[in-house]
């Protein structure tokens, strides 16, 4: 954990059921609770210095008479930490700290697993389907010319088809939608259309009146 938890759980039944606490005087119980709270703020939560001078100052420097009475009662609730006897620790406070650290670690691991699963799912959804280039082109053409949910328009050519409107198949490179030469308009057809558009009094090209004189 990057930061120490700011609080710990307090169990009233455990507090009242502790024989060491129950044997303390009221003022000793209050001092003991102050030391429990102070131990939670130490670099190693649950421990306090094994130094009576420091502890007396933390507890507002009680008189010698009061200290000699309460300290033996308080001391029984604390164990010596390490070989150098430099620290005292509360078994209940230290156990509570380890419980919180373990729970926080499991929560972080579960959050990391959920994040990885979500990232993998998003990545899979973002991947395009693997199709051939022709199939993609054909799908794009059909989707752009036909409404969604309807079959492709049979009047439009597919990306891979070489069939012409009259059912013929042409070689590659030919325009399948060009007008066939047999259906193309000839010069005679064009002249006949122009002649039909003239008025009755207009002279037709190559026509002459009686005597060979031209009339307009």
* Element holding 89 (H helix, E strand): strand 87-89
Q: So what's the pLDDT on residue 145?
A: 47
Q: Which pLDDT score, from 0 to 100, does residue 102 have?
A: 83
pLDDT at res. 144: 47
Residue 216: which H helix or E strand, with range? Answer: none
Three-state secondary-structure class, residue 163: strand
Residues 197, 190: Cα–Cα separation, whole Å: 11
Q: What stretches of 119-191 adopt beta strand conformation (E)?
A: none
Domain ranges of the chain: 12-91
C-alpha distances in Å from residue 38, one per residue of 102, 154, 210:
22, 85, 137
Q: How far apart are CA 69 and CA 20, in angstroms?
A: 15
d(CA 179, CA 156): 16
pLDDT at 196: 67
HSE of 160 in the Cβ direction (CA atoms, 13 Å)? 9
> Can you list the residues of the chain whose pLDDT is less than 70?
1-2, 122-186, 189-190, 193-194, 196-216
Q: Across the strands, what pairs with 147?
A: none
pLDDT digits (tens, 9 = 90+) for 12-40: 888 888 899 999 999 999 999 999 999 99
Q: Among residues 89, 105, 103, which one has the least CA distance to residue 43?
A: 89
* Residue carrying the six token digits 């060979």: 212
């Amino acid at each position: 954990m990057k930061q120490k938890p700011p609080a710990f759980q307090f169990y009233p039944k455990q507090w009242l059921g502790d024989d060491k606490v129950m044997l303390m005087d009221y003022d000793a119980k209050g001092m003991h609770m102050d030391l429990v709270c102070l131990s939670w703020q130490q670099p190693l939560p649950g421990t306090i210095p094994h130094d009576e001078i420091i502890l007396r100052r933390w507890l507002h420097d009680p008189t010698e008479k009061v200290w000699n009475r309460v300290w033996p009662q308080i001391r029984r609730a604390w164990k010596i930490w390490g070989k150098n006897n430099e620290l005292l620790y509360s078994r209940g406070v230290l156990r509570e700290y380890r419980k919180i650290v373990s729970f926080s670690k499991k929560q972080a691991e579960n959050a990391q697993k959920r994040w990885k699963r979500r990232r993998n799912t998003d990545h899979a959804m973002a991947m395009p389907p693997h199709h051939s280039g022709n199939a993609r082109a054909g799908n794009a053409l059909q989707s752009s010319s036909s409404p969604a949910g309807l079959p492709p328009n049979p009047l439009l050519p597919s990306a891979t088809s070489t069939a012409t409107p009259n059912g013929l198949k042409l070689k590659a490179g030919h325009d399948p939608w060009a007008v066939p030469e047999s259906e193309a308009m000839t010069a005679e057809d064009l002249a006949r259309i122009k002649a039909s558009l003239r008025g009755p009094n207009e002279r037709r090209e190559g026509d002459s009146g009686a005597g060979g004189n031209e009339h307009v």
